[in-house]
Amino acid sequence: MIVVRTHPLEDAALIAAALPEEPMIRAADQRQVRVALREAELAILGYRGRFLEEHLAELSRVARDFALAPVILVTDRIPRVARQTATMSLAAVNWYEALDQLPETLDRVRLTSALEEMAQAVEGSRLPPKLRVALSLALRRANDLPFKTVEALATAAGCTPVTIRQEFRAAAPEGYTAANFLAALLALRAMHLHRTGMAWKAIFPELGYSRRAFERLLASWPSRGCKDLALMYPRELIARFLTERLAPILRRFE
């Protein structure tokens, strides 16, 4: 699912025509974009060149706040775009004059999003084959339908929970379990949902936890409660996940 926000609003029809097979939500403002990103995998924000400057703050906020949901900017081919967006965390820029290239841009962004990059790193590693399948699947599902238990992951990966736990234990530093890995992915999902404007009291049941249980889960990583988690930037948390939760596993089999 894609969320599309354009100015002027009628330009959303152009983007829909360029992506006829993609299910999408059309958002009229930034608030609707944030709500839609509870379910959507990415956002396409289209601003005509003459309107781009007045929407730079909105574009920057969405790109900054939703590191798990890549943002593609669609705009006119004008020289100042590169300068105006140089410091933003955009996944890609596609010109209105080249909307026929938007499907290719979309495919490229999907392949290079943060979680997809990590999943590909796992698939290219020397981890045991069944563990590679399970961890790459967990990473790809983290911002959609994250696995809450090792048992659920094992069922989806076509192996047993015992296999995942044993192979993970052999790869991970002492005391770091497969359940800890899944809990860290749930923390990423929780941050993403909170950035959409969803209240914590709605996030807990969404993830299948009580507040107390989820706070205990966060205590293992990133060692912060919900209030502190809400103050972190998504890219900061993703960087920590990569260095503290994923890299130590991959290093064992380099």
Of 80, 96, 111, the residue that ends a domain is 111
Q: What percent of the chain has pLDDT over 90?
A: 77
> What is the domain-level CATH number for residue 6?
3.40.50.2300
Which alpha helices (H) appear in the chain, and where do they start and end?
12-18, 30-36, 49-52, 56-65, 80-84, 102-112, 114-123, 129-141, 150-157, 161-171, 178-195, 200-207, 211-220, 226-231, 234-240, 247-251
Which residues form the domain of 126? 114-251
Res. 115: pLDDT tops 80: yes
Q: What is the pLDDT of residue 111?
A: 66
pLDDT digits (tens, 9 = 90+) for 120-147: 999 999 999 999 999 999 999 998 889 9
Question: Are 246 and 126 in a shared domain?
Answer: yes
Same structural domain, 104 and 123: no
- Bridge-based pairing of strands 24-27 and 71-75 is unpaired
Alpha carbons 69 and 87: distance in angstroms, whole number: 18
Chain centre distance of CA 239: 12
Mean pLDDT of the chain: 93
Rg for the chain, CA atoms, rounded: 19
Residue pair 223/244 in contact by the 8 Å Cβ criterion: no
Among 76, 111, 146, the domain-final residue is 111
Asked if residue 254 has pLDDT above 80, the reply is: no
Do 144 and 81 reside in the same domain of the chain? no
CATH number where 236 lies: 1.10.10
pLDDT band at 200 (very low <50, low <70, confident <90, very high): very high
Average pLDDT over residues 76-94: 92
Q: What is the pTM of this model?
A: 0.78
With a cut of 90, say whether residue 151 has pLDDT above it.
yes
